[in-house]
Amino acid sequence: MPKGNTDAAFPQASRTFEATYHWPFQNHAMMLPSVAVADVQPDKVTIWTGAQGPFTTRDRISDMLGLPKRNVIVNWVEHAGCYGRLTTDDAAEDAVLLSRAAGKPVRVQWSRQDEHVWEPKGPQQLMKVRVGADAQGMMIAWEYAGRTFPWTEAQGTPQLGERQIGQKNTAPYPASPTGAGAVAQLYDIPNQKVTAAYIPWPQDDPSPLRTNPLRSPGEPAGWFASETMVDEVAAAYGVDAYQFRLRHLGSDQRASELLQATAKQAGWKERPSPSPDAGAAKATGRGIALIARGPTLVCAIADVEVDRASGNVTVKKMTMGHDCGLIVNPDGLKFQIEANVMQGVSRALIEETKWDANGIKTVDWRTYPVITFAKVPDVDIVLINRPERASSGAGEPGIVPLFAAIGNAIFDAIGVRLREGPFTPQRVKAALQARTTATTARL
């Protein structure tokens, strides 16, 4: 979706910035593993499951057993939050096959290790961003290229687990900008080029690794790259990150009002990043990110503390501004935002699927930890109600700006930019050491 002419604009830029950003595979990490009950009879099948798409489960089982869809009864039961995981209803398929073989009802519950190892992952992403700015620090050219693995579940096509395992994905549907992490730019940049593509699976032999959507698919990492680059340009010109965004919003009144309201609520003090106290042993910083997900706008401001010795990052507070049109249920909206913050902070700081030569190493809550209540930050929420606009999404947009806001806050605190997540102590210390080594080499 090009705008203007980036090829002509970049030679006119006074300064050019280019960086590559990476986000790893992550688990959906359901608190309850997959579970289902199936009762297969000669002419019908009855299933009890917490599937995210009961009708999709019905269609898959109909295909599996060769039964008319009307003969497949799916009873939905409450399950743990799955965030896209149960779009692939493995336990129901397992239970159906076993019930057919046994001739009796069968209940299948995956173990914790089964769930951590075999669940379809949220795919990793690689983003390259290039920006040209004029002498006054205004961005005049923007190029974004996102790459990710495709979901092994073809869009609109029921894929049985037995067909997903070992599938060599040939990207059976076109790369979608959202799914591959490409983001529509909020900012009034006259020349833009945004591309996204799926990477064919690299293995020569069939692999059991599967991928499927993870909450707000592709967008937290995509906006992490974009909003981090915006911050990098602002810092290079010595401009306050909030003011830099505001001056690039042009005539977008909604986004400007949300940005201003969130900054006011957070008590934002204007200054360039990094903080003057970035050399402290325990340094504090703040970071900001502004995103759009469809018609919904979200602004996030993170306040963090970074322990330089241990590399540990603590998110002290998140200030969240939300504009999703007409607000029907303010309390429900706040609950959604708070839950997005909990999951987003967890994914930003500690969650990462890891492998060794034998397979996946993250097999339980010890090896794949998630945030605990003791680590949940304070959350302050600003809601902008717009009765003149239709209500828009609130279940997923809240997580989208968190990676960027937290990463930008870390830079503000210690003056080191992290372009790869999650922001673990090991990555923080490695970044600090790399800067020390580079500084020493220049002396």
For residue 70, give the DSSP letter.
G
Coil/strand/helix, residue 203: coil
Supply the mean pLDDT for the chain. 90
Domain boundary among 90, 109, 128: 109
Tens of pLDDT, residues 57-69: 999 899 889 999 9
- Return the minimum-mean-pLDDT range out of 33-47, 212-226, 299-313: 212-226
Q: Is the pLDDT of residue 257 over 60?
A: yes
Which residues constitute the domain of residue 56?
35-109
Residue 157 lies in a domain: no
pTM of the predicted protein model: 0.93
Q: Is the pLDDT of residue 315 over 70?
A: yes
Closest by CA position to 199, among listed 155, 151, 148: 148
Sequential DSSP letters for 286-311: EEEEEEEETTEEEEEEEEEEEETTT-
- Return the minimum-mean-pLDDT range out of 25-39, 104-118, 171-185, 217-231: 171-185
Residue type, 380: D
Chain Cα centroid distance, residue 437: 32
Measured over the CA atoms of residue 402, residue 406, residue 407 and residue 411, the dihedral's sign is: positive
Residue 380 lies in a domain: yes
State the CATH number of the domain containing residue 66: 3.30.365.10
CA dihedral 167, 173, 175, 180 (to 10 degrees): -50
Residue type, 11: P
Residue 259 lies in a domain: yes
Residue 242 lies in a domain: no
Instruction: Output the pLDDT for position 201.
Output: 62
Q: Is the pLDDT of residue 170 over 90?
A: no
- Return the minimum-mean-pLDDT range out of 80-94, 153-167, 206-220, 397-411: 153-167
Q: Is the pLDDT of residue 177 over 60?
A: no
Domain boundary among 69, 87, 109: 109
Say which residue, 179 or 377, is predicted with more confidence.
Answer: 377
* Mean pLDDT (whole number) for 91-95: 93
- Return the minimum-mean-pLDDT range out of 208-217, 399-408, 423-432: 208-217
Residue 345 lies in a domain: yes
pLDDT band at 172 (very low <50, low <70, confident <90, very high): very low
* Mean pLDDT (whole number) for 415-431: 98
Q: Is the pLDDT of residue 168 over 50?
A: no
* Mean pLDDT (whole number) for 405-411: 99
pLDDT band at 163 (very low <50, low <70, confident <90, very high): low
Closest by CA position to 92, among listed 39, 47, 40: 47
Closest by CA position to 304, among listed 291, 318, 290: 318
Closest by CA position to 233, among listed 245, 250, 246, 249: 245
- Count: domains in the chain: 2
Closest by CA position to 411, among listed 264, 306, 289, 262: 306
Residue 239 lies in a domain: no
Give kind and range of the element (H or E) at residue 20: strand 15-23
* Mean pLDDT (whole number) for 243-257: 96
Tens of pLDDT, residues 102-124: 999 999 999 999 999 999 999 99
Closest by CA position to 376, among listed 349, 403, 397: 349
Q: Is the pLDDT of residue 419 over 70?
A: yes
Residue 10 lies in a domain: no
Domain boundary among 60, 80, 109: 109
* Mean pLDDT (whole number) for 222-249: 97
Instruction: Output the pLDDT for position 258.
Output: 98
pLDDT > 90 in the chain, percent:
77
pLDDT band at 150 (very low <50, low <70, confident <90, very high): confident
Residue 5 lies in a domain: no
Closest by CA position to 229, among listed 428, 15, 419, 28: 419
Tens of pLDDT, residues 17-38: 999 999 999 999 999 999 999 9
Q: Is the pLDDT of residue 385 over 60?
A: yes
Determine phi and psi for 298, rounding to 5 degrees.
-135, 135
